[in-house]
Structure 1
């Protein structure tokens, strides 16, 4: 299996390590015009081949991994899909739902398999959280509350909505199994960069479930960030249901379940929950999570697994929420998403 990795930016090293862990480092070509590409590969992927232009290597690839800036995804992914090459596309799939729908049409006309790189779906604790919700451990989901915050650098190409909040937005859609019907959001660009530096997104789902996702670059967290040295961050999702509450902390690498509910005691309702249960799911660093994503996609290509994080649900649906959040913030009103 000859893999073409297009892009080798900040998260590129995790991709290199992921391909190595699934045994494909020796058949890996990395395309990036950066002048230090050869030095990077010599240290992190010495058996990989480096090229400046991905177009020259596309024809010989059996699978393409795209992790360039999001605003380049549509053009590159379109060429990959038109060449009928299986595609792994980092999150978010595209800046807009319109572009995601266009990629979906191209993929389905092939058909060409596509997997979107939604990290938390393949983190062992994210997968365990999905299993808990699916088996009814918290009952019917009532509300999800997520924070992805820290005092950290502001990227030149995006803000916390598309870079950070998107992780939990996708995970919430996956857990609930629906696209929200209504979105209300506040996005702030206090530096005038043209990208948000604070995002607060509220969602309401057809089932009645609600969600709140907060992300920002000026909100201190509580735990050392594994991705950004010297930064304290908080990355957690709490799922509240009719029969319990579960907390997934990515920064603490913990998944904790409280079974129970509130019961009526005269004029008040008091909490009646069991002891906290620590759910035994492994920890995982970025290379391990990337390897899990790549391994799954390879099994899908061999017909051994059903797709997870497809272009339809992890691409189009998520992009529709991001579109709605931006529109809501511009007009300061609730924005609906068509079913």
Structure 2
């Protein structure tokens, strides 16, 4: 495919998140929005009023039969992701799927295997790994400025929106799990979690999950839609410095603390000579860009180059396995659950 030729993209789903994806596909010079399909006539009418020159279809089959597309963006409800994405890949088209990739690791592994067999790009909408601040944090960690990361914890809290189909971890934590895996460069080997269903029986509205990594590092994720404050915060503790990322801040999103615990060079015994260290606080300037625009552009670039996406299908599979394992651990009263997986 010529680099000068816009990537021909079809979008499936114009409900909750579809309009945002459509807006970015439509505005980017490297892409050509060929068609949008949705089973709901009201959604198609809404789309046509905003984009009258773009054809609409009532189904994916109709789109694939009547339009030449190179790639398809799937923005349907999560239970349909596996079937829709599989049909896209079987048709020989690159595929972008909103998070979560699927609702089971078995289905996710099936899509990863199929994409690999067909030499197609399969990418998942893990939006936060395209966030300018998150990528700045990745650079800080990789540079060694924080030292060795020992542990981190994330809080994603709010009062509402209360859901009844999936628990708070499935609803909110895919963002945080994808960030943790991306920043640490590894997926957890086991998880343990507890949760409580205060509002709807069987649907946990508050979850505390611990992720354990082969490297010895640990992450804690707390999610809730039953909290008085809207919180989107990450804290990373390293052997040299500590970092706090607060996504609710308009500009000063990252604070780096030159603080730690250690022993002086002439210490006689490490345990006896541990001291607290307090240094400067740095607030770096982050040039922000819309994460979704960066994400869609990355998908286009990967479709052209064949490069593995930053949020590949395998990354999506790893996140789904963590979500599954957290649910299993909650059901088992907090017992550790292994997250090992294989794509045969």
Q: TM-score, normalised by structure 1?
A: 0.88
For residues 9-48 of structure 1, what are the alpha-carbon distances to aligned partners after superposition, in whole Å with 9 as ceiling and x for unaligned?
A: 2222221221133137863422112232244224544443
| More deviation, 42-51/272-281 | 42-51
Which residue does the alignment assign to 2:42?
A: 36
Which residue does the alignment assign to 1:315?
A: 316
User: Following the alignment from structure 1 to structure 2, what is the Cα–Cα distance between the partners of residues 305 and 75?
Assistant: 25
Distance 1:76 1:156, change over 3 A: farther
C-alpha displacement of 1:138: 0.9
User: Following the alignment from structure 2 to structure 1, what is the Cα–Cα distance between the partners of residues 154 and 123?
Assistant: 24
Which residue does the alignment assign to 1:255?
A: 254
User: Following the alignment from structure 1 to structure 2, what is the Cα–Cα distance between the partners of residues 278 and 47?
Assistant: 46
The number of residue pairs the alignment matches comes to 324
Structure 2 matches for 1:189-268, cutoff 5 A?
Answer: 189-192=197-200, 194-221=202-229, 233-253=230-250, 254-264=253-263
User: Following the alignment from structure 2 to structure 1, what is the Cα–Cα distance between the partners of residues 184 and 176?
Assistant: 12
Are the counterparts in 2 of residues 144 and 239 from structure 1 also a CA contact under 8 Å? yes
C-alpha displacement of 1:237: 1.0
**Alignment partner of 1:280 out of 285, 290, 295:** 285
C-alpha displacement of 1:131: 1.1
Which residue does the alignment assign to 2:19?
A: 13
Which residue does the alignment assign to 2:97?
A: 89
Distance 1:271 1:21, change over 3 A: farther
RMSD: 2.2
Distance 1:139 1:162, change over 3 A: same
Are the counterparts in 2 of residues 25 and 45 from structure 1 also a CA contact under 8 Å? no
Which residue does the alignment assign to 2:4?
A: none
Where 2:227 maps in the other structure, the secondary structure is: coil
User: Following the alignment from structure 1 to structure 2, what is the Cα–Cα distance between the partners of residues 45 and 127?
Assistant: 33
Which residue does the alignment assign to 1:330?
A: 331
User: Following the alignment from structure 1 to structure 2, what is the Cα–Cα distance between the partners of residues 185 and 301?
Assistant: 37
C-alpha displacement of 1:190: 3.0
Are the counterparts in 1 of residues 325 and 339 from structure 2 also a CA contact under 8 Å? yes
Distance 1:316 1:25, change over 3 A: closer
Choose 1 or 2 for highest CA Rg: 2
For residues 52-80 of structure 1, what are the alpha-carbon distances to aligned partners after superposition, in whole Å with 9 as ceiling and x for unaligned?
A: 22221024321110111111111111111
Distance 1:53 1:304, change over 3 A: closer
User: Following the alignment from structure 2 to structure 1, what is the Cα–Cα distance between the partners of residues 36 and 276?
Assistant: 54
Where 2:124 maps in the other structure, the secondary structure is: strand
Where 2:228 maps in the other structure, the secondary structure is: coil
Distance 1:61 1:147, change over 3 A: same
User: What stretches of structure 2 of length at least 5 have no aligned partner?
Assistant: 1-6, 265-270
Are the counterparts in 2 of residues 26 and 47 from structure 1 also a CA contact under 8 Å? no
User: Following the alignment from structure 2 to structure 1, what is the Cα–Cα distance between the partners of residues 125 and 261?
Assistant: 38
Distance 1:149 1:279, change over 3 A: same
Structure 2 matches for 1:40-189, cutoff 5 A?
Answer: 40-42=46-48, 44-59=50-65, 60-189=68-197
| More deviation, 156-165/198-207 | 156-165
User: Following the alignment from structure 1 to structure 2, what is the Cα–Cα distance between the partners of residues 143 and 291?
Assistant: 31
Are the counterparts in 1 of residues 131 and 291 from structure 2 also a CA contact under 8 Å? yes
